[in-house]
Amino acid sequence: MNTPQPKRRAERHTTSVNVLMSTYKAEKAEYLAAAMESLYSQTVPPDRVVLVLDGEVGMDQHEVITRFGTDGRRPDLTIVALPQNGGLANALNAGLAYCDGDYVMRMDSDDICMPDRLALQLAYLAEHPDADLISSWVREFSDAEAQERLKVSPTDHDAITSALRWRNVIAHSAVIVRTSALKKIGGYRADFGMLEDYDLFVRLITSGAHLHVIPKVLLRIRTSMAQRARRGNLAYLKNEIRFRAECLRLGFLNRSQFVATVCLYAVFRLAGPALRNRFYGLART
């Protein structure tokens, strides 16, 4: 299937903020449309959206892409079509090659930005010139649940670093990061299954990057029980152990922390879906 090509602007220029997003065949077109609209409705819009098609997607998604590609509002839209699905890390690296702005703003194809997300993140970056990565608090929501869950995290670099030794406290799709810092460490790695975001944050820290979190909800993250269930099996635990071993090798964990986190996550990953959902609830406010 040929990918509909979005309308191009007459003049191309170096951008300051590129949104990096990926979609695949299982994504619902209505979710993609809501995510895109939240980007095009920003009070301070990004310069460009780099949307990676991770393998073939349905015609309903192509229709959404065509609609926003011909939208008269900023941002511009760049489509990166991959011939087959290779996973999130591979898709994001493919899109990162097209990001030439000062910052990369992450976004998932089923999440929804608050209208002032980018405005507040850029203002925070201006006030904190030492920051290489800015994230925010988020709310998790589900079509099957009426109540939303607030996910909070520490806000300053040292506290974030301490918390990351035990669990991932950063919402990946709420991140804006210096492009140079992201490319310095080689982008994403698919070495540890679905832990590519956690691995990224650890490598950024060990490379000298500074992280901050804005204590305000700037993103609503769509989640589901099925998504949580995928994170609880023996294969995921094996990836978790290999990831913790890499953290030990990098010096991010000491031996005591390595043993403690492996034991804790062995219980978490092998717990039943209902119990694991309770654990998720305890980790949120």
Based on the number of CB atoms within 10 Å of its own CB, is 208 exposed (0-12), middle (13-18) or buried (19 or more)?
exposed
Length of the chain: 285
Instruction: Tell me which H or E stretch contains 213.
Output: strand 211-222
Residue 63 contacts residue 24 (beta carbons within 8 Å): no
Going from the N-terminus, what domains does the chain have, and what CATH number goes with each? 1-109 (3.90.550.10)
| Distance linking the first and last C-alpha atoms of the chain | 44
0.85 exceeded by pTM: yes
CB count within 10 Å of CB 86 equals: 16
**pLDDT the model gives residue 187:** 97
pLDDT of residue 234: 81
Joined together, the tokens standing for residue 109 give 């194809």
**Residue 256: per-residue pLDDT:** 97
Q: How far apart are CA 240 and CA 269, in angstroms?
A: 9
Closest CA to 202 of 251, 237, 240: 251
The pLDDT of residue 281 is 52
Q: Collect the ranges in the chain with pLDDT lower than 50.
A: 1-15, 276, 279-280, 282, 284-285
Please, which residues have CB within 8 angstroms of residue 147's CB and are 6 or more apart in sequence?
Answer: none
- Which residues neighbour 149 within 8 Å (Cβ) at sequence distance 6 or greater? 139, 140, 141, 280, 281, 284, 285
* Tokens 């219980």 belong to residue: 267
Q: What is the pLDDT of residue 283?
A: 52
Residue 125 near residue 131, CB atoms below 8 Å: yes
pLDDT at 145: 75
Beta 133-142 vs 176-178: how paired, if at all? antiparallel
pLDDT of residue 278: 55
Contact 137, 151 (CB under 8 A): yes
Q: For residue 39, which of 117, 92, 95 has the smallest C-alpha distance?
A: 117
Pseudo-torsion of CA 257, 260, 266, 269, nearest 10°? -60
The whole-angstrom separation of Cα 113 and Cα 45 is: 11
What per-residue confidence (pLDDT) applies to 14? 35
Q: What is the pLDDT of residue 285?
A: 47
217-249: pLDDT as tens digits: 999 999 865 555 556 678 888 999 999 999 999
Q: Which helix (H) or strand (E) holds 104?
A: strand 103-106
Tokens 């990166």, located at residue: 80
